Amino acid sequence: MSTEQATANDSINAIRTLSIDAIEAANSGHPGLPLAFAPVAYLLYAERMKHDPADPLWPDRDRFVLSAGHGSMLQYAVLHLAGYDLSLDDLKAFRQWGSKTPGHPEREFHVPVGDDGKPQPGATPLPLTPGVEVTTGPLGQGISNAVGIAAAERYLRETFGREVQDHRTYVIASDGDLMEGVSAEASSFAGHVGLGRLIVLYDDNSISLDGPTSLSFDEDVEARYQAYGWQTLRVDDANDLDALRAALDAAEAEESRPTLIHVRSIIGWPSPNKQGTHKAHGSPLGAEEARLTKEALGVDPDATFSVPAGVYDQFRAGNRGPAERAAWKERFAAWREADADRARAWDAAWAGKPLPGLQDALRAVPAEKEATRVSGKRAMAAFAPFVPTLVGGAADLASSTNTVLPDAGDYTRDAVGQNVHFGVREHGMGAIVNGLAAHGGIVRPYGSTFLQFVDYMRGAVRLSALQNLPVAWVYTHDSVALGEDGPTHQPVEHLASLRAIPNLVVLRPGDSVETQAAWAAILEDVDGPAVLAFSRQGIAPLPRDGGDDAAWEGVRRGGYVVKEPAEDPAVVLVGTGAEVGVAVDAAALLGEQGIAARVVSLPSWELFDAQDDEYRESVLPVGLPSVSVEAAVTFGWERYVDVAVGIDRFGASAPGTELLERFGITPSAVAGRAQELLGA
Amino acid sequence: MSTEQATANDSINAIRTLSIDAIEAANSGHPGLPLAFAPVAYLLYAERMKHDPADPLWPDRDRFVLSAGHGSMLQYAVLHLAGYDLSLDDLKAFRQWGSKTPGHPEREFHVPVGDDGKPQPGATPLPLTPGVEVTTGPLGQGISNAVGIAAAERYLRETFGREVQDHRTYVIASDGDLMEGVSAEASSFAGHVGLGRLIVLYDDNSISLDGPTSLSFDEDVEARYQAYGWQTLRVDDANDLDALRAALDAAEAEESRPTLIHVRSIIGWPSPNKQGTHKAHGSPLGAEEARLTKEALGVDPDATFSVPAGVYDQFRAGNRGPAERAAWKERFAAWREADADRARAWDAAWAGKPLPGLQDALRAVPAEKEATRVSGKRAMAAFAPFVPTLVGGAADLASSTNTVLPDAGDYTRDAVGQNVHFGVREHGMGAIVNGLAAHGGIVRPYGSTFLQFVDYMRGAVRLSALQNLPVAWVYTHDSVALGEDGPTHQPVEHLASLRAIPNLVVLRPGDSVETQAAWAAILEDVDGPAVLAFSRQGIAPLPRDGGDDAAWEGVRRGGYVVKEPAEDPAVVLVGTGAEVGVAVDAAALLGEQGIAARVVSLPSWELFDAQDDEYRESVLPVGLPSVSVEAAVTFGWERYVDVAVGIDRFGASAPGTELLERFGITPSAVAGRAQELLGA
């Protein structure tokens, strides 16, 4: 069939009918958004975006984020029609185990399987769903990720040049996305730094899950976004292609402000009985209503998963992406040739790895008696030259968390330095950092605040773990030892709550050397997200039997023996962070009583658990009595020890040393519990 | 000394010098806000607010929230000067162990100690710091709590009448408060429902911790608040008392919109060397700068903790609070007398307890095979008549979480029903619900969403636990069994992360009867916050040896034996929620193999841990092999069992029953693990 036989309207209706059919087949899903916003998705993928289904990872592609992730079939349908590796069978498997079309868009990469049926070592991981940039669904995250994606593009564009990095980021967002505080934070930041390549299409359908949005949401969204420094535009009917095109023209012409295009739509249009109501939002239309909706669209009500003749051609005919990619490849080759150093930097950046030499630089940082947040500062100064595209910052606490890259400049409206001032916006920071990582090219972006305030950004931390994003979360002031600020600022349950998250490496180094080793492990070894927990208070260098090498090896393995007694140990004392030193002193007290105690530092449960049985047994032998000490709740420590010394209550306002004393985080208290355990 | 000898300026300067001196004595604290905003605090406590230091818990007092909690000395200084039970010695103990003046304002109540040195049973708990309404410090929470406080006042005013409830809520908020997403959510809600009695004084000092706020914050705050539907006013100089008075007049005259008064100030004014810089924000001025600042104020630079003659009288002379309280008491007595029923309802509301009869009503709800979220709906319908001042709602998921009080109406701009539509604003909901509880008079306010999204509101959940607020957090869709929505919506680590929070009771009932008992326990027994975790999927009524009574007793105690085998048990199978049924079926499978298995339901670890040794041992005997099953991470289960069956990974998108099968949450998998454990 020829292109002439299908129209834009046919393509748009194909998006709608594929969405209806997949949701009916799954008997689960959200038809309202795909029906209403099909014209918008069509324009983006068929006319506007610079993308090439043949290479979904092309670095200079335009990015698309479906912030309203519940409308996943909208994205799957356009990816299929545009020619991505997503078949009709994949659409038929919507929301089924192992399919490429999960309930919400999932950023997930897997190592390709070879002819032997096994994952091929060294092979480039491939996306589960080609064309999906980030996992969305938890409202507000996608639009906020997109801020980070646009920030990454701008950083790379101004660093490497427009020849190789020069694209836009498009978002479809819902009412729910804009009600969430995380999007408010990220949007204010985006306006502040003037991310002109960010274009958000806001689906204003006046309906949310519980009924009309007027139940809870009648603010003036456009005025709010103007207050943030955005350009705002309005399209009164989502089915008006020319109005949408004009708005996109104006958005794309604006380089210094992000743009919000306020699009009024009718949810579930043209479903005769459900459009415009919350019934069209979160449940399948049902067989009869699906038929009636197809009739209203003027398509065969009996056909399912049917794409009319000519639609594929029509959909793809206007895509200038393949030609642009071909041109980009030529430019890129010449660009590489012209400067081998920047080509190497580009390659390292996109491989997500530091330049060679990082570990030597970190090993050269001398041990000091200091807070690990200060050790972290020294680590950043040492590794900065090896991660030229690292971008990160703090939620208005950089001067306390010490997470500034020296001489790297600030990321502002006028300049793209590496240091980002996220403002007092922890959740927004988390989502933006996730976006920086999802874009690619930014090695190990990081976000920083006090450990206490991870609670504010937990939604984003979880999504970093779910997507295996290579980010670092740097949390300082990691115990009650921070002192006078009191229980609102003193973490107690936070280490446990982070350890409970799957696929998140938590590292709490015990002194300055462990801190250097922890940063090295994260930058070199850990694929996914990692948490660093640093102390506010000073910590003396640990006296290690094995010297610094023991720390370097031990941190990578998550735990190791710091001190072994002369005779066979009668008890193992296990600590993390500042409390490894408490364990060392407790062991000395026990030694005075004739009790031989081994001291173990366990900076990372996750890395330790990943070691083989033999190594773990060599550090924490089964059957040897054991006591842990950590200035935090004891929750979870039963996994490793017989007795856990900790703080199973909220903290208090007082000087830090007094609090540790009052809460029993002292060498004598630990020695006493060990003696009790041994019946000594 | 007479009043004439001191002026308003003397009083204002006394606030400043007391703040300087307390922060110097502690060598810790934030002088910038107390110095700059002393005039505002003075006006509120000396001229504006309806308050009586003699009765800091008077129900009709105006409420004051220092959202910028780091400026705590501002509040302590005015409370002292106004005549609250907060002495100069208390100020001298600022930020010290056990003092009434912790680093941030803490809402904390303690039972008074009698002559015997022991807490007096039955005595009314007294506040740690009289005059402090809520714990603040984590930015954005206080202003959002204040939205809940104002919402409570409005509810009680329209329910009981202006004679007995008729006050305002004043807030001092900082830049940081307004950058946080939680305040954006709560402020949008406040504008939506038109809380005209809420007045926020925004301290715009252009400085945050990392330097000028322009580093990260240049949005138009007034325009944003106008977009939310607020009245906005501006005062260009925090030292201009008349301008402040005029703005407060306009704010107090506005009844249908909340008001934001944008007050420009100079942080740390008039410190000669630190004012207007971030150096004045978070550290003591230092001895020399303290002297210079006092000189600039025109007070004795050598005097510390010195209140000039006449200042106390000056400060208190204009307080109409005592007279208003006297008038209120007369009105209140007459009001009670006129209607004994409403007096009883008022008493129950302020005691925070349901009316008599609640438990019988809940016991009468028949057992059903149904999702516990549906059992929860039936519970709410049953208990609604007994909690006439209960106010709560969901974050746009009421139709899924089933948390609507039938026939109780909606809380809107035009009416004060009991059902609140918080919008897709989980964190704002959490902070607002905390405020509803902190106000008093609202029995067990609640907030509801999917268990997954507790991550978005964790900052507020933690503060409910820290303040021991009597709230209920109702979280449904409590496991991967929710199915197709996939891992972004499937909680796995959330139960563990909630159990890790001190002073938070988590309840995951195993069937419809346990659900009724859980709601009864929360409404009648639990003082502080409680979490309810409910299933999306249907659950059959548990076959209990002890019938319903066993469930009612067992839920209150956190755990109990559901089924005991005929012979002595060889193994205990422990479950929570829907997985108690899995344990029951696993026990049957084991029985077929000749292995006698006890089945235990453990709906609440916290309530169970509070039981005496004998009871706990009777349920989970030490030494008896044990296996737990919970469709969640196994983190923490080592505390109770030898082998934990769970899901130590993220979920996936597929039908729920298939996921449970694939993840091994099945009777046969549990029976298999038990056999392995027994070596059978």
The answer to whether the Cα torsion of B22, B26, B30, B31 is positive or negative is positive
The answer to whether the Cα torsion of B413, B415, B416, B419 is positive or negative is negative
Cα A673 to Cα B299: distance, rounded to the nearest angstrom: 55
The b/e string for B330-347 (b: 16+ C-beta within 10 A; e otherwise) is ebbeebeeeeeebbebbe
Cα A473 to Cα A96: distance, rounded to the nearest angstrom: 33
Assess B590–A contact: CB distance below 8 Å, yes or no: no
The rounded Cα B620 to chain-centroid distance in angstroms is: 33
Assess A485–B contact: CB distance below 8 Å, yes or no: yes
| Helix, strand, coil distribution of chain B in percent, nearest 5 | 45, 15, 40
Structure confidence at residue B4 (pLDDT): 57
DSSP per-residue letters across A420-487: EE--S-HHHHHHHHHHHHHHSSSSS-EEEEEGGGGGGGHHHHHHHHHTT---EEEEE--SGGG-TT-T
Residue B415: band (very low, low, confident or very high) from pLDDT cuts 50, 70, 90: very high
Contacts A399 to B, Cβ<8 Å: 209-210, 278
Catalytic amino acids of A? 426
Identify the residue whose tokens are 């015990």: A510
Q: What is the CA radius of gyration of chain B?
A: 27
Residue A208: band (very low, low, confident or very high) from pLDDT cuts 50, 70, 90: confident
Structure confidence at residue A644 (pLDDT): 98
Residue B245 structure tokens: 């008075």
Tens digits of residue pLDDT in B482-496: 999 999 999 999 999
3-state secondary structure of A251: helix
Amino acid at B572: V
- Average pLDDT value for chain B: 96
Catalytic amino acids of B? 426
Considering only CB atoms, B466 lies closest to which of A639, A650, A653, namely A650
Residue B2: band (very low, low, confident or very high) from pLDDT cuts 50, 70, 90: very low
Contacts A606 to B, Cβ<8 Å: none
Tens digits of residue pLDDT in B367-385: 999 999 999 999 999 999 9
Q: Are A92 and A63 in contact (CB under 8 A)?
A: no
Cα A493 to Cα A502: distance, rounded to the nearest angstrom: 17
DSSP code for A34: H
Cα A293 to Cα B110: distance, rounded to the nearest angstrom: 63
Residue A640 structure tokens: 């490793």
Cα nearest neighbour of A181 on chain B: B181
Cα A555 to Cα A216: distance, rounded to the nearest angstrom: 49
Assess B189–A contact: CB distance below 8 Å, yes or no: yes
Cα B602 to Cα B611: distance, rounded to the nearest angstrom: 13
Asked if pLDDT for residue B148 goes beyond 70, the answer is: yes
Asked if pLDDT for residue B396 goes beyond 60, the answer is: yes
* Across A15-24, B52-61, B348-357, least confident range: B348-357
Q: Is B63 exposed, middle or buried (0-12, 13-18, 19+ CB in 10 A)?
A: buried
Cα B604 to Cα B615: distance, rounded to the nearest angstrom: 14
Asked if pLDDT for residue B178 goes beyond 90, the answer is: yes
* Across A109-113, A210-214, A311-315, A365-369, least confident range: A210-214
Cα B418 to Cα B416: distance, rounded to the nearest angstrom: 7
CA distances from B555 to B505, B512, B611 (A): 12, 12, 12
Asked if pLDDT for residue B173 goes beyond 70, the answer is: yes
Q: What is the mean pLDDT of residues A364-381?
A: 98
Asked if pLDDT for residue B225 goes beyond 60, the answer is: yes
Residue B123: band (very low, low, confident or very high) from pLDDT cuts 50, 70, 90: confident
Q: Which residues, 6+ apart, have CB-to-CB distance to A399 below 8 Å?
A: B209, B210, B278
* Cβ–Cβ below 8 Å for B458 and A462: no
Cα A512 to Cα A370: distance, rounded to the nearest angstrom: 7
Assess B662–A contact: CB distance below 8 Å, yes or no: yes
Considering only CB atoms, A453 lies closest to which of B138, B396, B428, namely B138
| Distance to chain A for B24, nearest Cα, Å | 13
Q: Are A219 and B425 in contact (CB under 8 A)?
A: no
CA distances from A6 to A16, A19, A47, B31, B629 (A): 15, 19, 15, 70, 56
Q: Are B551 and B517 in contact (CB under 8 A)?
A: yes
Structure confidence at residue A160 (pLDDT): 97
Q: Which residues, 6+ apart, have CB-to-CB distance to A283 below 8 Å?
A: A31
Tens digits of residue pLDDT in B270-281: 999 999 999 999
Asked if pLDDT for residue A478 goes beyond 70, the answer is: yes
Tens digits of residue pLDDT in A118-176: 888 888 889 999 999 999 999 999 999 999 999 999 999 999 999 999 999 999 999 99
Of the candidates B491, B474, B612, B613, the one whose C-alpha atom is nearest the C-alpha of residue B530 is: B474
What are phi and psi for residue A574, nearest 5 degrees? -115, 130
Asked if pLDDT for residue B1 goes beyond 80, the answer is: no
Tens digits of residue pLDDT in B310-350: 999 999 999 999 999 999 999 999 999 999 999 999 999 99
Asked if pLDDT for residue A1 goes beyond 70, the answer is: no
Tens digits of residue pLDDT in A404-433: 999 999 999 999 999 999 999 999 999 999
Contacts B489 to A, Cβ<8 Å: 103-104, 137-138
* Cβ–Cβ below 8 Å for B424 and A227: no
Asked if pLDDT for residue A3 goes beyond 60, the answer is: no
Of the candidates B136, B170, B159, B150, the one whose C-alpha atom is nearest the C-alpha of residue B68 is: B136
Give the ipTM: 0.97
Q: Are A101 and A28 in contact (CB under 8 A)?
A: no
Q: Are A315 and A53 in contact (CB under 8 A)?
A: no
Q: What structural domains does chain A harbor?
A: 3-108+123-322 (3.40.50.970), 352-533 (3.40.50.970), 557-678 (3.40.50.920)
Q: Which residues, 6+ apart, have CB-to-CB distance to B535 below 8 Å?
A: B371, B372, B373, B476, B477, B478, B479, B481, B577, B578
| Distance to chain B for A411, nearest Cα, Å | 9
Amino acid at B380: M
3-state secondary structure of B167: coil
The b/e string for B145-162 (b: 16+ C-beta within 10 A; e otherwise) is bbbbbbbbbbbbbebbee
| Distance to chain B for A338, nearest Cα, Å | 37
Q: What is the mean pLDDT of residues A376-383?
A: 98
pTM (global) more than 0.90: yes
Q: Which of residues 39-58 of B touch A (CB under 8 A)?
A: none
Assess B635–A contact: CB distance below 8 Å, yes or no: yes
Residue A4: band (very low, low, confident or very high) from pLDDT cuts 50, 70, 90: low
What are phi and psi for residue B164, nearest 5 degrees? -115, -15
Structure confidence at residue B214 (pLDDT): 86
What are phi and psi for residue A554, nearest 5 degrees? -70, -35
Q: What is the mean pLDDT of residues A264-286?
A: 95
* Neighbour count for residue A237 (Cβ, 10 Å): 14
Cα nearest neighbour of A463 on chain B: B488
Q: What is the mean pLDDT of residues A344-368?
A: 95
- What does the CA dihedral B142, B146, B152, B154 come to, rounded to 10 degrees? 180
Tens digits of residue pLDDT in A40-89: 999 999 999 999 999 999 999 999 999 999 999 999 999 999 999 999 99
Asked if pLDDT for residue A330 goes beyond 60, the answer is: yes
Tens digits of residue pLDDT in A656-669: 999 999 999 999 99
